[in-house]
């Protein structure tokens, strides 16, 4: 393991953790993956709460810089290592990216992420509501992608990284992507990026193979 490797505290089936793993890989950065056993409650133990008081994955430790929250970590990585490629510096471009980071923490979290939590992890939420929220979100994303290759223009940004994981895995939560050709093409473009790493699929919902 390289001495300068960034430690990523993760859980492989967490889309929040996958966002960060994907970003680190797209940037070509050395990573030490540290598994946090969520089912056993490792994220609620004092040693982990010292890293993230909210008891959530992911957390990174970049040579002593400890950060939690997936979208916050994406901003940090883009600014420190992205060489201006992943986060626009102009006010309008930066604001457009921030809009999608907010979507990742709002409509995506309460739509496809929650729908998948129900099927993959047995979370006690209203499946019908989560699926409805998912399709409302996907209709907006489909329209946005009708005039650009990525969520903010024609080059990938951290907005795409933040949105990818849970939208790509929406079928696991019984959310079909069949009616969203622009969304499917966008997912394929992200998957074709050098350094792309997938999140393990869970055979639940519409994801039957």
Question: What's the burial of 105, exposed, middle or buried (CB within 10 Å: 0-12/13-18/19+)?
Answer: middle
Cis upstream peptide for 11 (omega within 30°): no
pLDDT at 207 over 70: no
pLDDT at 6 over 70: yes
pLDDT digits (tens, 9 = 90+) for 82-99: 999 999 999 999 999 999
Nearest CA among 56, 49, 67 for reference residue 7: 67
- Return the ∠ at Cα 124 (arms to 21 and 105), rounded to 5°: 40
Which residues have a Cβ under 8 Å from the Cβ of 203 and sit 6 or more positions away? 209
pLDDT digits (tens, 9 = 90+) for 148-169: 999 999 999 999 999 999 999 9
Domains of the chain: 6-81 (3.40.30.10), 91-191 (1.20.1050.10)
What pLDDT sits at residue 15?
94
């Amino acid at each position: 393991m390289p001495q300068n490797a960034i430690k990523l505290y993760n859980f492989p089936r967490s889309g929040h953790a996958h966002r960060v793993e994907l970003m680190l890989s797209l940037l070509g950065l050395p990573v030490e993956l540290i598994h946090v056993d969520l089912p056993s409650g490792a994220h609620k133990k004092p040693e982990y709460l010292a890293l993230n008081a909210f008891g959530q994955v992911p957390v990174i430790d970049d040579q002593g810089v400890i950060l939690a929250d997936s979208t916050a970590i994406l901003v940090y990585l883009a600014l420190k290592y992205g060489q201006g490629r992943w986060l626009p510096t102009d006010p309008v471009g930066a604001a457009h990216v921030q809009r999608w980071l907010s979507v990742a923490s709002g409509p995506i979290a309460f739509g496809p992420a929650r729908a998948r939590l129900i099927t993959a992890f047995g979370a006690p939420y209203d499946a019908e509501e989560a699926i409805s929220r998912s399709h409302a979100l996907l209709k907006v994303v489909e329209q946005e992608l009708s005039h650009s290759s990525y969520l903010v223009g024609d080059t990938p940004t951290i907005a795409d990284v933040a949105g990818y994981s849970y939208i790509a895995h929406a079928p696991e939560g019984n959310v079909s992507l069949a009616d969203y050709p622009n969304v499917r093409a966008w997912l394929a473009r992200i998957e074709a990026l050098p350094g792309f790493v997938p999140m393990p699929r869970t055979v639940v919902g519409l994801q039957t193979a």
